[in-house]
Amino acid sequence: MSWYKEVEYIRTQAKKNNEFFAHSLPMIASENVLSPLCKEMLITDFHGRYAEGTPGNRYYEGCKYFDLVEEKATELAKKLFRCSYADVRPTAGTTANIALLKALIKPGETAVVLDLANGAHISFGKFGAAGIRGINLVSYPFNNDIMNIDVDGAVKLIRQIKPTLALNGQSVFLFPSPIKELAEAAHEVGAYLVYDAAHVLGLIAGKQFQDPLREGADVMSGSTHKTLPGPQGGMIVSDHKGDTEQDKSFLRKLSFGVFPGVTSSYHLHHVAAKAIAYAEHLEFGEAYAKQTINNAQRLAQALYEQGFKVFGEKLGFTKSHQVLVSIGPGKGKDAAKKLNDAGIVTNMNTIPGDTDPMNPSGLRLGTPELTRIGMKEPEMTEVAEFYKRVLLKNEDPKKVQSAIQEFRKDYQELHYCFKEHFRGYDYHELV
């Protein structure tokens, strides 16, 4: 029996996916597209190889060239985040978070976290990595008016309960976290502050958001495929220099948490692609991060002017790549589906006050990918008009989809990467 038909079926679906995204408005805040050079690394022979351990200290032979790549990736990561320690091995942002929890906190100990309904990522929730680790989780107080942690209440909480870890990080990340104040309180009681930068890693690297390591965070984790437009993966950085025994112990725990803690071999082709992404972000990251934020701010303002309820109004709606919109009680899922039918790809999202994550009342919008294909502030006003047509004027999604496809024709080239290497690549195969 031949399985060729099944192979062709899979290839056909992949091609259809490429075409759909090439003619739509991809606005999921956690997604981005790879540059040709990053993509090239994913099809190298690194793909099928193993490299357990660290450069020069492997369990397998044949790692001579990959060792050099990992060393270069680590070097570039340190330059990009202006820090003394970097681990490029985690295979995802959540994997990086699990590694940190394994390294720094024991089951039964206490961590302070942001509540999921207020924008935290599930890996810091009781149903995610923190819950699997058996950590006692206590939520920060939250200020809905500014869409951020209540600083005074959080500082008081940390001093009162004396947690092992103060965890910071969000899936809805509109504004910088009050790291300086929280870190000072955490350090007073002997706790470490962990900053999950999954969504804003590229904004931080581009010097446009906040600088957690200089503001007091002991360690920062992140995803390498969101506002940092690299391959799917994770990383960990710290500016602890290992110049005291306590520091050395801290860094050893971090490394051990990654390997053998939560990784065996660690997707060597992704590490090579991360190295390319770090180099490209060193070259283009500041301009990319600035434009991504400018686009989010213009989009939020335009949606607000169209009549949408947009969170963060008092502080200018957003200082990141994200926009959070209220659609109505339990209407987020239906709204996301209607937008998808029109060729706008985003996701339903909980907003403050929601209790059912599967029937939330909001949408989370992101500008990283639209920025990557060359859109700027004027285009965001046009994008907001498409939202109005679908959700407020209730136009036929297929009619709007035709307009979006026409709109997208002028945006079929990747920006903020080494363009001289585009020769021989078809953009439609990259998205």
Is pLDDT above 70 for 427? no
Q: What is the pTM of this model?
A: 0.94
Instruction: Centre a 10 Å sphere on the Cβ of residue 26 and count the other Cβ atoms it contains.
Output: 22
Model pLDDT for residues 145-203, shown as the tens digit of each residue? 888 999 999 999 999 999 999 999 888 999 999 999 999 999 999 999 999 999 999 99
Query: Exposure of 420 by Cβ count < 10 A (0-12 exposed, 13-18 middle, 19+ buried)?
Result: exposed
Q: How open is the CA angle 186-106-263, to the nearest 5 degrees?
A: 105
Is-contact 296 367, C-beta < 8 A? Answer: yes
Of the candidates 221, 218, 204, the residue with the CA atom closest to the CA atom of residue 130 = 221
Ordered by where they begin, the domains of the chain are 39-274 (3.40.640.10), 285-429 (3.90.1150.10)
Euclidean distance between CA atoms 231 and 225, whole angstroms:
5
Predicted confidence at residue 145, as pLDDT, reads: 86
Euclidean distance between CA atoms 273 and 246, whole angstroms:
33
Euclidean distance between CA atoms 25 and 369, whole angstroms:
8
Is-contact 235 274, C-beta < 8 A? Answer: yes
Is-contact 381 338, C-beta < 8 A? Answer: no
pLDDT tier at 423, thresholds 50, 70, 90: low
Output the average pLDDT for the chain: 94
